[in-house]
Amino acid sequence: MTGPAPSPKIEVRDLAVHYGKEPALRDLTLDIHRNEILSIIGPSNSGKTSFLRSLNRLNDLEPRIRVTGSIRLDGKDIRRDLAVEDLRKRVGMIFALPMPLPMSIYENIVYGPRMAGVRDKKLLDRLVEESLRSAYLWDEVKDRLRNSAFKLSGGQQQRLCIARTLALRPEVILYDEPCSGLDPISTAKVEESMAELRRDYTIVLVTNNTKQAARVGTRTAFFLMGEMIEIGPTDKIFTSPEDKRTEDYIVGRFG
C-alpha cells in the first residue's frame, strides 16, 4: 500500500504575463515536483523566461509587466504570503551570462551570507568550500580564493555564480540558458553539478538546447507562443510526444 503522493514544491495556476497589452504567457497551470529537474524548451518568444522570472518575482522589477494567476511555494502564495526578499533567498537564479561581483572569488561567495548576517569566519570558510564543491569548481580555485573573480574563464565564472547562489542555501534554483555562452567542457561541468544538486534542490532549467534538456531533465515542458503545449517525463517527450508541434520542434522542423 502506497502513501499519498508528496505535495508539489511549486504550484502554478492560471499564470499569465503581459508586456503592456501583449501576452507573453497565457493560462499556465503546472506543478513542479520536489527534487526534480524540470527542463523547459521552446523557440524564442515562447514565454520560457517570462515564466522563470515569475517564479521569484523578477518580473516585478519591470513596471510595464502585469502578472495574474497564482504561484505557491510550499503552499504559500509568493505574492501574498512571502516578502520578496525572503522569496529570492529561497528561489535563486542563474542567468545566461555570468555576472561575478568585482571582488575576489572568496568574497563573491560570502557576500550573500554576510548580507544575511553571517559573521562567523569558520562558518563562512565552510560555506565557501561546500558551495564551490557543489558547483564543481573547488579543485580549480582552492589555491587562489583571494584572486579576482574576473581572472576566471567564462565557464568558471558561471560555476562561481552557481556557487554564490548555493551559499544562501536556497530551496529552488532557476537556470536561464546557463550554458549558452560556454564551451562543451564547461557545459558538461555545469550539467554534472545540476545532476548532483538535484538530490537537495528543486531545479527549473530554461534552455534552447534540446539535447541539454534531454540529458539533464527529469521532466520536460514544451512552450510555444506563450502556451505550454505539453509536459511529461523527458524520455517520453523526446521519443513519443503527444502533440505534433512538440515533435516538429524537437526534430528541428522549426525554432
Dump pLDDT digits (tens) for 115-161.
989 999 999 999 999 999 999 999 999 999 999 999 999 999 999 99
Q: What is the DSSP letter of 58?
A: G
Q: Give the C-alpha separation, 95 to 161, whole Å.
A: 9
**Rounded Cα gap, residues 77 and 181, in angstroms:** 34
Q: 132 vs 91, 127, 141, 147, 204, CA distance in Å?
A: 19, 8, 9, 15, 20
Asked if 129 and 152 count as a contact pair (C-beta separation under 8 A), the reply is no
Q: Which numeric CATH code is attached to 10-250? A: 3.40.50.300
What pLDDT score does 116 carry? Answer: 87
DSSP state of 54: H
| Helix 154-166 with 184-197: angle, nearest 10 deg | 10
Q: What is the pLDDT of residues 100-119, one digit of tens each?
A: 999 999 999 999 999 989 99
State pTM to two decimals: 0.93
Interatomic CA distance for residues 14 and 71, integer angstroms: 9
Q: Does 3 score more than 70 pLDDT?
A: no
Answer whether residue 5 shows pLDDT above 70.
no
Query: For residues 71 and 79, what is the distance between their CA atoms, to the nearest angstrom?
Result: 8
